[in-house]
């Protein structure tokens, strides 16, 4: 239903240069040879418990590395995480490591957290779970 809603929205706004793909993103990014101006990575939480943190780190590393591989030089990577066990500084480090191993340079153009309708409570660190970065990737 999400893709059909997006198609309807594109039609309503008369966008004709939009393509919708329903596929496992890891498989798509691995097999894809096309380069894009912008890649948006907004996966579901890769971990909801502390025991799966190493696997989540690996998944965030892999998805960001693949996203960068699919970007043109000077393209924009918009990447996010909603795993509250992966803190913002760790998520940023994962993205930096993916860029380094991909021999890509990142320029941070945006850093964001969740909107006010998802309040962050200092006494509950797990409420600070949404992280978002925008980079120009050279």
How many residues does the structure list for the chain? 138
- The catalytically annotated residue of 25, 53, 78, 82 is 82
Structure tokens, 11: 């039609």
H or E stretch including 99?
helix 88-101
Asked about 82 being catalytic, the answer comes back as yes
CA distance 89 to 25: 24
CA distance 106 to 111: 13
Structure tokens, 68: 């960068």
CA distance 120 to 122: 6
Count of CB atoms within 10 A of residue 120's CB?
A: 14
Which residues belong to the active site? 82
């Amino acid at each position: 239903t999400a893709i059909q809603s997006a198609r309807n929205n594109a039609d309503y706004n008369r966008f004709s240069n939009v393509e919708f793909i329903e596929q496992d993103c890891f498989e798509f990014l691995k097999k894809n040879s096309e380069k894009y101006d912008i890649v948006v990575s907004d996966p579901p939480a890769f971990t909801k418990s502390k025991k799966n943190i190493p696997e989540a780190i690996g998944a965030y590393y892999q998805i960001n590395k693949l996203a960068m591989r699919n970007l043109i030089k000077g393209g924009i990577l918009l990447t996010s995480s909603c795993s509250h066990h992966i803190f913002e500084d760790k998520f940023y480090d994962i993205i930096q490591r993916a860029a380094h191993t991909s021999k890509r340079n990142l320029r941070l153009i945006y850093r964001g957290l969740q909107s006010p309708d998802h309040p962050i409570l200092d006494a509950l660190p797990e409420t600070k779970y949404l992280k978002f970065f925008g980079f120009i990737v050279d």
